[in-house]
Structure formats: structure tokens, C-alpha cells
Amino acid sequence: MLHIYNTLSRAKEPFKPATAGQVGMYVCGMTVYDYCHLGHARMLVAFDVVQRWLRASGYQVNYVRNITDIDDKIIRRAVETHRRIGEVTEFYIDAMHADERALGVQTPDNEPRATQYVGEMLDIIGRLREKGLAYQADDGDVNYAVRGFEGYGKLSGKTLDDLRAGERVAVGSAKRDPLDFVLWKSAKAEEPEDTKWQSPYGMGRPGWHIECSAMSRSLLGLPLDIHGGGPDLKFPHHENEIAQTEGAFGGSLANVWMHCGPLMVDADKMSKSLGNFRTIRQTVADAAELSDTEASYQANPREAEMLRFFIVRNHYRSPQNYTPDNLLDAQNALDRLYQALQNVAPDPQGIDWNEPQAQAFKAAMDDDFNSSGAVAALFELASEANRTRSARSAGQLKALAGLIGLLQQDPADYFKKSTRYGARGAQPAGAAGGALDEAAIEARIAARAAAKQARDFALADRIRAELHAAGIELDDKPGGVTQWRRA
């Protein structure tokens, strides 16, 4: 039975959706004012694995991941670049989708935008005012009266006296309490006109937190089976969502709360505010294709799957450290799995769940989506396939890996792609290995075959050594077939 760690209860619990066989899952998505960085990649991939396993387990899943397309940071980007809000958000939404395609992240069932749900947000604000949980301050903003909600702090585990206003909550003298947060922001004269909506409280726009309360309830109803997001959202965003939704409608917002762990860089969380971030596109794009003026780009499929594997091989709740060496290690490990599939052609039959490694894979995934344990089972299958030359083991390896979005490329094509993250001592892309194109490599292999046919083994060995020095490894197969791969 599937067990999930619930941030709210601080314990693993058997998963029991409100409606048997169906799962409504809401995950807080991107604020689209810049390119996604590797910390975002971790969230995107982590919950992609969650929804994949839920579906593989037989659940009918409605996966909703929102887009915040109105926010202070978006407005600043629009003003700085002299573009309309919609131009900014459309560009970065397209860029986000390009990143998702590169990482093999499947499209959510619903991807609502905040600006499409302003009416629903105003309805919730009206309900909160009627219950005395919201008030309009002298500056025109409508704020949530935090101390009026008895359960505030239950997700983060802090008392009201311990809590401080979060990074997106501007503390101003117009608030009755510094912890009160904004539900509706009064329009400022200097702000662009396309950032303003008419409301019972005057022209303005929604606060950040109210967006998710409106979208999640509108698309999934209450309570949600699963509510997820990045590690920095537990407080204040998710705490405020609970206060808004439960304050307005009663009951529970979500039965299970999930938060992935942070991506660290030298003990600090990777974030744009700290300036220590690396974007997804910088990490996986073919250098010749990378452009800051284009939303889409051509990803290097070997490196893109490496980044996904780098994330999946760790448990989603554990902190994960980003270093170039860790990416290199992930590339080498993924190469070993693909090497097993290249050595032994996989049997295309379905998964045999009675097989020991398949059972270990399932047990790991049912234990709070422990993809780290699932990947360990994949390596056991790869070792078995290499040792026994079993097409069945190779088939199990490929099929099980597919459940978490791995090992679905053709091994021969995979290894023909150069990589910046290859084995230590190998030439990086753009150097010797990257400079030889496929036609040149095939020509050298043909020359080697001709030399062997003429029994000029010294020349054949020399050609093999030259290719090795250029980062090209050869595998001679029965029947005179030679496969090649980039180191």
C-alpha cells in the first residue's frame, strides 16, 4: 500500500484518497518572470514522478499545477523591459514548457493561470470579510486578519508569536498586525494598466496567496487529496492558503501536504534572490542552440536525461547538493544503465511484478515515492543483464525505468550525443570528442573494418586508439557489427 509523508502530520501515512481510485493533486507552479533554475527543475521532476507513479498504481489522477502570471516581480520585469505584462508572461511560460519537454516532465492535466480566476478570488475575499477574517486597511489593501484564524501555524509548526511575515508580505503601518497578509492590493498610479482589475474594494490586483486558494478549489474541490510544492512554500504561502480556504469554507484544504527538499549550493538554497542559481537551459541545451532571446531551445537529450536522473536518484524530500562533480557522477551512472541496454537488446514484454527487482522497485516507490530505492533496483537489473546477457532482465530494466521517465532513448542514439558531463579525463563537448561528427566517425569505423579485412591489425588498432583519444569508444559485436559511443 502506498504511504506518503504528510508535512501536516509530520509522519508517513497510508494514502487514502477521498474518492476511491481517484486523486486530485494540486502543486504550486512557477511565477513566470524569468527562466527556471535547477531548484525549479527539482520540483518539476519530483512531482512528475509522483503523478507518474500514482497513474502506474492504477489511480485516475487530476494533476493541477498553476502558473502565477501576475506578481510584483512580473510587473518589475515588464517595466524594466518596456513590455506588456502578457508579453513577459507568455515568453517565460513558453520557456518553462521548453524546459519541461527537455526534462521529460509530462504536461499537467490542468495548468490554470492566476489571471483567469480573479472572480473566484474576489468571492473568497468576500466570504472572509463576512466572517471577520479580512479587512480593508487605510491604504486600500484588503488584508487577512491572521489572529482571527485559530489554526494558523499548524503546517509550519510555529506559534503566532514565533512567526514573522514572509518574504512576499510587505509589512506596513496600515496593517492591524505585522503578520496579516494581503489578499487584494490597491492599484498604484504608476503601475501598468494591464495589472489592474475592478473590485468592490476599488481598482487593484490579487495578492499572491489567494490565487492558489481559488484555483485549487475551483478545479479540484475540497479537500484536495494532495497539495504539493517546493520547500520554501511551507511558510508563508501554504500556511496562508490554509487560513484563506479553511477560513472561508471550513473543513480541510488538503488531506496530504507534500514538500520536496531544497537544492543546495555550498549549504545555501539555490534561488534567484541569492544569485547562486543555474538555469535548466544553461545545463542541458546544446551550446549552439542556446539563446536568451528565444523561449524554446534544442536540448542535448543525453544531458537532459542526466539532469532528470540527477534529481530522481535522490529521495524527493532530502536536501540535494549541486556541484559539477555531482552532475558528472550522475552522467556516468546513467551511462552505465544505458550501456546495459546497448549490450543486451531488451525483451519488449511487460513488467513481471513477481520478479525480485520489480518488487523492490514497487516497494520503494510505495514507501513515500522513494525513487532512490527504485533506482537501486534498476542498477541491480543492469548488473544482472550484463552478467547473464538476459534480454528479459534488460526488458525489465527499460520498462521499470520508464515508469519514472528514464531510459526511453535508443542506446545507440543516446551514446552518439556528446556531453559536457562525461567521465573524468574525457574530452568535453566542443573539444576532440564533440568535434568529430557522425559521418567522420562512421568513416573511421569503415576504414578500421577494411584494415581488419586486409589483416592490417596494426592500422585497425591505431584507428581505434585515435577514436578513443577523441572520446569515441567502440564495441565490436558478433557478425562484424561495430557500435560506437561518445565517452
Distance CA 154, CA 9 (A): 9
Which residue's C-alpha cell is 494533476? 63
Q: Give the closest residue to 72 by CA, choosing from 166, 160, 185.
A: 185
The single-letter DSSP state of residue 115 is G
Q: How far apart are CA 24 and CA 224, in angstroms?
A: 6
Please state at what angle helix 457-469 crosses helix 438-453, rounded to 10 degrees. 160
User: Residues forming the annotated binding site for ATP?
Assistant: 272
Q: Of 311, 149, 320, give the one whose Cα is nearest residue 236.
A: 149
- Known binding-site positions: 28, 212, 237, 241, 272
Asked if 283 and 341 count as a contact pair (C-beta separation under 8 A), the reply is no
Whole-angstrom distance, CA of residue 164 vs CA of residue 178:
8
| Cβ–Cβ < 8 Å for 70, 427 | no
Specify the long-range contacts of residues 179-182, CB closer than 8 Å, at least 24 apart: 179/146, 179/147, 180/143, 180/144, 180/145, 180/146, 181/143, 181/144, 181/146, 181/207, 181/209, 181/236, 181/240, 182/141, 182/142, 182/143, 182/144, 182/207
**β partners of residue 299:** 285
C-alpha span between 353 and 96 (Å, rounded)? 36
* Residues flagged as binding site for Zn(2+): 28, 212, 237, 241
The residue count for the chain = 487
Cell of 127: 466570504
C-alpha cell at 316: 524527493
Q: Which three cell numbers stand for residue 196?
A: 489592474
Contacts of 335 (CB under 8 A, 6+ apart): 415, 422
Kindly state the helix (H) or strand (E) to which residue 65 belongs, with its residue range: strand 60-65
Count the helices and strands in the chain (H runs, E runs).
16, 15
